[in-house]
Protein backbone atom coordinates (compact mmCIF):
# COMPACT_ATOMS: atom_id res chain seq x y z
CA UNK A 1 0.00 0.00 0.00
CA UNK A 2 1.40 3.35 -0.95
CA UNK A 3 1.61 6.10 1.63
CA UNK A 4 0.16 9.60 1.62
CA UNK A 5 3.01 12.04 2.17
CA UNK A 6 3.16 15.80 2.59
CA UNK A 7 6.67 17.24 2.51
CA UNK A 8 7.60 20.88 3.12
CA UNK A 9 10.60 22.22 1.25
CA UNK A 10 11.74 25.29 3.16
CA UNK A 11 14.41 26.16 0.57
CA UNK A 12 16.81 28.96 1.67
CA UNK A 13 14.37 30.32 4.24
CA UNK A 14 14.29 30.36 8.06
CA UNK A 15 17.37 31.00 10.18
CA UNK A 16 17.89 29.02 13.38
CA UNK A 17 15.42 31.06 15.45
CA UNK A 18 12.74 30.89 12.74
CA UNK A 19 13.35 27.16 12.34
CA UNK A 20 12.77 26.58 16.05
CA UNK A 21 9.61 28.70 16.02
CA UNK A 22 8.10 27.01 12.97
CA UNK A 23 8.86 23.54 14.33
CA UNK A 24 7.27 24.29 17.69
CA UNK A 25 4.18 25.65 15.92
CA UNK A 26 3.99 22.47 13.82
CA UNK A 27 4.25 20.28 16.90
CA UNK A 28 1.53 22.31 18.59
CA UNK A 29 -0.86 22.18 15.63
CA UNK A 30 -0.23 18.60 14.58
CA UNK A 31 -3.20 16.29 14.95
CA UNK A 32 -3.15 12.58 14.32
CA UNK A 33 -2.89 12.14 10.61
CA UNK A 34 -2.76 9.22 8.24
CA UNK A 35 -0.18 11.02 6.16
CA UNK A 36 3.55 11.00 6.61
CA UNK A 37 4.84 14.49 7.26
CA UNK A 38 8.30 15.65 6.25
CA UNK A 39 10.09 18.97 6.47
CA UNK A 40 13.28 20.02 4.73
CA UNK A 41 15.07 22.88 6.51
CA UNK A 42 18.38 24.26 5.26
CA UNK A 43 21.59 22.31 6.01
CA UNK A 44 22.73 24.33 9.02
CA UNK A 45 19.42 23.77 10.81
CA UNK A 46 19.05 20.03 10.21
CA UNK A 47 20.67 19.03 13.49
CA UNK A 48 18.41 21.28 15.57
CA UNK A 49 15.35 20.17 13.60
CA UNK A 50 16.25 16.52 14.17
CA UNK A 51 16.61 17.09 17.90
CA UNK A 52 13.32 18.98 18.20
CA UNK A 53 11.37 16.40 16.17
CA UNK A 54 13.01 13.29 17.60
CA UNK A 55 9.97 12.20 19.63
CA UNK A 56 7.45 13.06 16.90
CA UNK A 57 6.40 11.41 13.64
CA UNK A 58 7.56 14.42 11.57
CA UNK A 59 10.57 13.41 9.54
CA UNK A 60 13.49 15.72 8.76
CA UNK A 61 14.71 15.67 5.17
CA UNK A 62 17.67 17.29 3.44
CA UNK A 63 17.16 19.52 0.39
CA UNK A 64 20.28 18.17 -1.33
CA UNK A 65 23.48 16.15 -0.87
CA UNK A 66 26.65 15.30 -2.76
CA UNK A 67 27.21 11.95 -4.45
CA UNK A 68 30.74 11.37 -3.17
CA UNK A 69 31.61 9.56 0.03
CA UNK A 70 33.84 12.42 1.25
CA UNK A 71 36.73 14.52 -0.02
CA UNK A 72 37.67 17.76 -1.75
CA UNK A 73 34.23 19.12 -2.58
CA UNK A 74 34.22 22.52 -0.93
CA UNK A 75 30.83 23.55 0.36
CA UNK A 76 29.21 20.16 -0.12
CA UNK A 77 27.55 17.71 2.30
CA UNK A 78 27.72 13.92 2.17
CA UNK A 79 25.05 11.31 2.85
CA UNK A 80 26.96 10.08 5.92
CA UNK A 81 27.07 13.62 7.36
CA UNK A 82 23.30 13.86 6.98
CA UNK A 83 22.74 10.51 8.61
CA UNK A 84 24.99 11.50 11.50
CA UNK A 85 22.56 14.32 12.36
CA UNK A 86 19.49 12.09 12.13
CA UNK A 87 18.49 12.81 8.53
CA UNK A 88 17.47 9.70 6.62
CA UNK A 89 15.86 11.16 3.51
CA UNK A 90 16.86 13.63 0.82
CA UNK A 91 15.17 15.65 -1.92
CA UNK A 92 17.01 15.19 -5.22
CA UNK A 93 16.41 16.74 -8.64
CA UNK A 94 14.46 19.80 -7.53
CA UNK A 95 14.05 22.12 -10.52
CA UNK A 96 15.98 24.87 -8.70
CA UNK A 97 18.96 22.50 -8.37
CA UNK A 98 18.63 21.57 -12.04
CA UNK A 99 18.31 25.17 -13.20
CA UNK A 100 20.68 27.16 -10.94
CA UNK A 101 23.26 24.48 -10.11
CA UNK A 102 23.33 22.61 -13.41
CA UNK A 103 22.32 19.28 -11.95
CA UNK A 104 21.61 16.99 -14.87
CA UNK A 105 20.26 13.45 -15.10
CA UNK A 106 23.75 11.95 -14.84
CA UNK A 107 24.65 13.78 -11.63
CA UNK A 108 21.22 13.00 -10.20
CA UNK A 109 21.63 9.32 -11.00
CA UNK A 110 24.86 9.31 -8.98
CA UNK A 111 23.21 11.14 -6.10
CA UNK A 112 20.28 8.72 -6.10
CA UNK A 113 22.68 5.77 -6.05
CA UNK A 114 24.66 7.21 -3.16
CA UNK A 115 21.59 8.01 -1.09
CA UNK A 116 20.18 4.51 -1.57
CA UNK A 117 23.55 2.93 -0.85
CA UNK A 118 23.44 4.76 2.50
CA UNK A 119 19.88 3.47 3.12
CA UNK A 120 18.33 6.90 2.77
CA UNK A 121 14.91 7.55 1.23
CA UNK A 122 14.89 9.72 -1.87
CA UNK A 123 12.22 12.21 -2.90
CA UNK A 124 13.03 12.45 -6.60
CA UNK A 125 11.70 15.58 -8.34
CA UNK A 126 11.12 16.09 -12.03
CA UNK A 127 8.82 18.12 -14.26
CA UNK A 128 8.51 19.94 -17.52
CA UNK A 129 9.06 23.61 -18.40
CA UNK A 130 6.17 25.66 -19.77
CA UNK A 131 7.59 25.44 -23.31
CA UNK A 132 7.58 21.64 -23.05
CA UNK A 133 3.92 21.64 -22.11
CA UNK A 134 2.96 24.17 -24.76
CA UNK A 135 4.70 22.06 -27.39
CA UNK A 136 3.08 18.90 -25.97
CA UNK A 137 6.45 17.44 -25.04
CA UNK A 138 5.70 17.21 -21.32
CA UNK A 139 5.24 13.44 -21.23
CA UNK A 140 8.46 12.87 -23.15
CA UNK A 141 10.47 15.22 -20.89
CA UNK A 142 9.18 13.66 -17.70
CA UNK A 143 9.74 10.17 -19.06
CA UNK A 144 13.38 10.85 -19.86
CA UNK A 145 14.06 12.50 -16.48
CA UNK A 146 12.70 9.45 -14.68
CA UNK A 147 14.29 6.87 -16.96
CA UNK A 148 17.73 8.47 -16.93
CA UNK A 149 18.00 8.80 -13.16
CA UNK A 150 15.95 5.89 -11.84
CA UNK A 151 15.32 3.05 -14.26
CA UNK A 152 18.71 1.43 -13.69
CA UNK A 153 17.68 0.74 -10.08
CA UNK A 154 16.92 -2.81 -9.00
CA UNK A 155 13.32 -3.49 -7.98
CA UNK A 156 14.38 -3.77 -4.34
CA UNK A 157 15.41 -0.08 -4.25
CA UNK A 158 11.97 1.24 -5.08
CA UNK A 159 10.70 0.90 -1.52
CA UNK A 160 13.00 3.86 -0.74
CA UNK A 161 11.90 6.05 -3.66
CA UNK A 162 9.19 8.72 -3.56
CA UNK A 163 8.41 10.48 -6.83
CA UNK A 164 7.52 14.18 -6.98
CA UNK A 165 6.02 15.58 -10.17
CA UNK A 166 6.65 19.32 -10.15
CA UNK A 167 5.83 21.16 -13.37
CA UNK A 168 8.39 23.98 -13.37
CA UNK A 169 5.81 26.51 -14.53
CA UNK A 170 3.78 25.87 -11.39
CA UNK A 171 6.58 26.21 -8.81
CA UNK A 172 6.35 29.41 -6.80
CA UNK A 173 4.20 31.03 -9.50
CA UNK A 174 0.75 30.65 -7.96
CA UNK A 175 -0.23 28.86 -11.16
CA UNK A 176 -1.15 25.34 -10.09
CA UNK A 177 -1.59 22.46 -12.50
CA UNK A 178 -5.26 21.57 -12.59
CA UNK A 179 -6.19 18.43 -10.64
CA UNK A 180 -6.88 16.81 -14.04
CA UNK A 181 -3.43 17.75 -15.39
CA UNK A 182 -1.80 16.37 -12.23
CA UNK A 183 -3.82 13.14 -12.39
CA UNK A 184 -3.06 12.68 -16.09
CA UNK A 185 0.70 12.96 -15.50
CA UNK A 186 0.69 10.86 -12.33
CA UNK A 187 -1.20 8.06 -14.09
CA UNK A 188 1.30 8.25 -16.95
CA UNK A 189 4.23 8.00 -14.52
CA UNK A 190 2.67 5.02 -12.75
CA UNK A 191 2.20 3.33 -16.12
CA UNK A 192 5.87 3.91 -16.99
CA UNK A 193 6.97 2.31 -13.72
CA UNK A 194 4.60 -0.63 -14.28
CA UNK A 195 5.94 -1.18 -17.80
CA UNK A 196 9.59 -1.05 -16.75
CA UNK A 197 9.15 -2.96 -13.47
CA UNK A 198 5.77 -4.36 -12.50
CA UNK A 199 2.40 -3.27 -11.11
CA UNK A 200 3.34 -4.19 -7.58
CA UNK A 201 6.08 -1.52 -7.63
CA UNK A 202 4.01 1.00 -9.58
CA UNK A 203 1.05 0.67 -7.22
CA UNK A 204 3.26 0.99 -4.14
CA UNK A 205 5.30 4.05 -5.12
CA UNK A 206 4.00 7.35 -3.74
CA UNK A 207 3.77 10.08 -6.36
CA UNK A 208 3.58 13.60 -4.92
CA UNK A 209 2.47 16.70 -6.77
CA UNK A 210 4.34 19.98 -6.26
CA UNK A 211 3.64 23.45 -7.61
CA UNK A 212 1.72 26.17 -5.77
CA UNK A 213 -0.25 23.78 -3.55
CA UNK A 214 -2.19 25.77 -0.96
CA UNK A 215 -4.91 25.01 1.60
CA UNK A 216 -7.47 26.22 -0.97
CA UNK A 217 -6.52 23.74 -3.71
CA UNK A 218 -4.96 20.81 -1.82
CA UNK A 219 -8.16 18.82 -1.27
CA UNK A 220 -9.06 18.71 -4.95
CA UNK A 221 -5.52 17.79 -6.05
CA UNK A 222 -5.01 15.17 -3.31
CA UNK A 223 -8.43 13.73 -4.17
CA UNK A 224 -7.16 12.44 -7.49
CA UNK A 225 -6.56 8.72 -7.73
CA UNK A 226 -2.84 8.77 -8.50
CA UNK A 227 -1.86 11.79 -6.38
CA UNK A 228 -0.46 10.57 -3.09
CA UNK A 229 0.39 13.90 -1.51
CA UNK A 230 2.41 17.00 -2.13
CA UNK A 231 5.80 18.65 -2.06
CA UNK A 232 5.06 22.10 -0.71
CA UNK A 233 7.25 25.20 -1.01
CA UNK A 234 5.81 28.59 -0.04
CA UNK A 235 2.81 27.30 1.90
CA UNK A 236 5.07 25.10 4.07
CA UNK A 237 6.63 28.21 5.63
CA UNK A 238 3.47 28.93 7.57
CA UNK A 239 2.49 26.31 10.17
CA UNK A 240 -1.26 26.85 9.78
CA UNK A 241 -1.16 26.60 5.97
CA UNK A 242 1.06 23.54 6.03
CA UNK A 243 -1.17 21.78 8.56
CA UNK A 244 -4.28 22.73 6.59
CA UNK A 245 -2.72 21.11 3.52
CA UNK A 246 -1.86 17.98 5.52
CA UNK A 247 -5.41 17.86 6.83
CA UNK A 248 -6.78 18.05 3.28
CA UNK A 249 -6.53 14.29 2.94
Q: Which whole-number Å values give the CA distances from 81 to 76, 158, 229, in the listed order? A: 10, 23, 28
User: Does residue 128 carry a catalytic annotation?
Assistant: no
Q: In this chain, which of 192, 210, 221, 242 binds ligand PEP, going by CB under 6 A?
A: 210
**Measured in whole angstroms, how far is the alpha carbon of residue 176 from the centre of its chain?**
17
Binding piece for ligand PEP, criterion CB under 6 A, among 40-48, 129-137, 155-163, 231-239: 231-239
Cβ 86 to ligand PEP shortest distance, Å? 23
DSSP string, 3-49: PPEEEEE--S---HHHHHHHHHHHHHH----SSEEEEE--GGGHHHH
Cβ 230 to ligand PEP shortest distance, Å? 8
Beta carbon nearer to ligand PEP, 211 or 229: 211
Beta carbon nearer to ligand PEP, 36 or 201: 36
Cβ 47 to ligand PEP shortest distance, Å? 23
By CB under 6 A, the residues from 132 to 191 that bind ligand PEP are 166, 171-172
Site residue total, ligand PEP (CB under 6 A): 13
Binding mask 7-46 for ligand PEP (x = CB under 6 A): --x-------------------------------------
Q: In this chain, which of 14, 50, 78, 212 binds ligand PEP, going by CB under 6 A?
A: 212
Q: Of 63, 154, 61, whose CA–CA distance to 113 is shortest?
A: 154
From the list 94, 96, 103, 138, the catalytic residue is: 94
Cβ 164 to ligand PEP shortest distance, Å? 7
User: Does residue 166 carry a catalytic annotation?
Assistant: yes
Q: Which residues bind ligand PEP (CB under 6 A)?
A: 9, 166, 171-172, 210-213, 231-235
**Active-site residue set:** 94, 166
Amino acid sequence: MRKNIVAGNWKMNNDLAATKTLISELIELKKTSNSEIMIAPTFVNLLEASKLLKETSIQVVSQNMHYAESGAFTGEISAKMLKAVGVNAVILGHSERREYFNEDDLILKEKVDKALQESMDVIFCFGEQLDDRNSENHFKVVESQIKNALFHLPSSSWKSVILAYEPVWAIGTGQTASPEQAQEMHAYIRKLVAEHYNTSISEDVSILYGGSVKPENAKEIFGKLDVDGGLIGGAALDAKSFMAIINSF
